[in-house]
Structure 1
């Protein structure tokens, strides 16, 4: 009886460990990676446990940039291959990291790799100019997100002469679609893996329609970025300020009455 209970206990612990790995993967990894469905923002992770040591995987998952900065050749090669897109650090314990690795290993065993890029072009196969226009309004905040999330230009900038955006807190998204494709952009909007975005949209999820519209807009920006000059609104504001100052000075010189200094009697 004791042996039976021990076995049952181990099975329960194993199932809980497996579920934790899947939950962590879905929360922090699925926006950028697949297991057997091809490349996304980052590499396909199928059979990664056969290609890298457990020690290396733990280090990379916890802080890829630390490993890259140490000069690890495999980490540097991945960083360069995927457009130097930094993978966010994960505040996992060793046990949690191992649970994620175990989930990837278990899922890989029942999956056949296709060796393709998981760029779901069909996401935008029926996108129209209306989607692009709606996405532009959502990006700038002129049209509020349904669940009250912050407008994209609060943190991000794009080089688009038709809209005003000058967010500098996070990455410029002008070429984001070119780098990540439709599937990558949509996945990050829908389930952001970056800490700041995770907090900002945790209770304000972006709807499926908004994901489509924003992705369509970013595709439009990316495709037209080579045909329009990059605009710096910082410079524009500086020029405007100087011009306003000069106008005020001219106004004072022309209209301000000439006054003689008053004499003070002794």
Structure 2
């Protein structure tokens, strides 16, 4: 028979009840951050061209604190069909249209789970404060790169620009169509169509965590930073645009040419020496 105390609850139950809400409070920030991660990726891919979160207005408004300024139902209506909301005469939507030079945001077809993750990202950013939620540059779409970003990716691949953490240049083990005079290395696979093969979702983690028996050892203490990851992804995306097959391995051909030239040069030096002239 259990002993009861005033209030009618078992002594053991009274000890546990206050712990449950305490654990919920302690775990809330971590749960919010975890739920915000897919929203951060979605924002970078779908929204970051026109909006920032805490870095000021761009083509559209800064979205830091948007769910505190606006009702969530209104934000959902606006995201789903901005034009319809504007044409309905909604005063806030029309004020935004006027403020941002008449630029109409295109309709965004998001699933309920995508929208929930995006809202979790916005709330997490609000909790962190302005400037605490800058999206990773590595998460931007490789196909959205500028010519300068693509050119930097090629320099990093070829090794004409050093990697920040001292990692080895990709060209030592890999080739990409048109790179270098003699092409790249053949120890690893040809990466000309790596972006087409892996896609955006596969390429991003592949560059963030370079794995494999050899590559893992090379980059374990020299990982690519986020901007390097993006530049290389941009370069691979550009290389994949041309669907033609890369040229066959050229290393042996060029090495043969260099070898013949060196041999002829050596023979010329020998026969031009004074000792060889004296003997003839």
Q: What TM-score do you get using the length of structure 2 for normalisation?
A: 0.44
Q: What TM-score do you get using the length of structure 1 for normalisation?
A: 0.46
- Select the structure of larger CA radius of gyration: 2
